[in-house]
Structure 1
Amino acid sequence: MDELPRVLIVEGKQDRKKIQKILDDEDVFILCTFGTLGIDALEELVDDYQLFERDVYIFTDTDEPGKKLRKMLNQELSHAENIYIDKKYREVEDAPENVLASLLLSANMKVKTEYLKGF
């Protein structure tokens, strides 16, 4: 059986869109929560995407909704790895592409060659 793709959980569509532009890794599925989840929605997400059987990465904003979502996800998915954006950028979608590329690389994800300058 093939290994399930890794899952990168982000909050919004713009986060997913920006990361998709940078990422060059077919082994990573970007899952968008569309903001903070209720407990029922979170449990459904975990079941629907088989998150207990996958490598999971949590990449949320540094604002209160992002912190709340990260906390909920970490409680449910204790095996997940966290990727943190510097507080000065506040939101994943507002971070420079080279910063995002660096963070994704540090999580062992492949990025497109044009974002590898300086690495």
Structure 2
Amino acid sequence: MEMFEDKVIIVEGTTDKRKVKEVVKEPVDIICTNGTISITKLDELVDELFNREVYILVDADESGEKLRKLFKREFPEAEHLYIDRMYKEVAAAPEYHLASVLIAANIDVHTQFLERRT
């Protein structure tokens, strides 16, 4: 049997994945949708992620909102995390902002990212 982490964060792109991976301290699976996701792939994900804590962290733009709507419909139990609209993209959000969003969702982060750098 494969060992899975309990928590899964779904992001749009590989740059988002890298950024989140850098900030998160606990072991989590980070899944990229690469901006879009087919219904087939989504169905596979729903099956695969059954009984796990799923977090949706997508960009604060039109494609991110489309993706979020899709996940809300197909994955009603997932928790949605939001970055501030002024950053637009997860990858563009400063680490401290990302860390505060993640810690608010009970995801352990490296504490150095919680300090706002000037």
- Whether TM-score is above 0.5 comes out as yes
Q: Matches of residues 1-119 of structure 1 in structure 2 within 5 Å?
A: 4-26=5-27, 28-47=28-47, 50-117=48-115
Per-residue displacement from partner, 1:53-73 (whole Å, max 9, x unpaired)? 111110000111111111111
Q: Alignment RMSD, CA only?
A: 1.6
Per-residue displacement from partner, 1:45-90 (whole Å, max 9, x unpaired)? 222xx22211111000011111111111111111011000111110
**Matched residues in 1 for 2:4 and 2:57: separation?**
22
Structure 2, unmatched stretches of 5+, are: none
**Matched residues in 2 for 1:3 and 1:95: separation?**
28
Q: Structure 1-normalised TM-score?
A: 0.88
Structure 1 segments of 4+ aligned residues over 3 angstroms from their partners: none
Per-residue displacement from partner, 1:11-55 (whole Å, max 9, x unpaired)? 0000000011111011x21111111112112112222xx222111
Structure 1, unmatched stretches of 5+, are: none
Q: Structure 2-normalised TM-score?
A: 0.89
The 8 Å contact of residues 5 and 29 in structure 2, kept in 1 or not, is answered as no
Partner SS for 1:8: strand
The 8 Å contact of residues 23 and 110 in structure 1, kept in 2 or not, is answered as yes
**Matched residues in 1 for 2:37 and 2:79: separation?**
19
Total equivalences in the alignment = 114
**Matched residues in 2 for 1:3 and 1:21: separation?**
19
The 8 Å contact of residues 52 and 77 in structure 1, kept in 2 or not, is answered as no
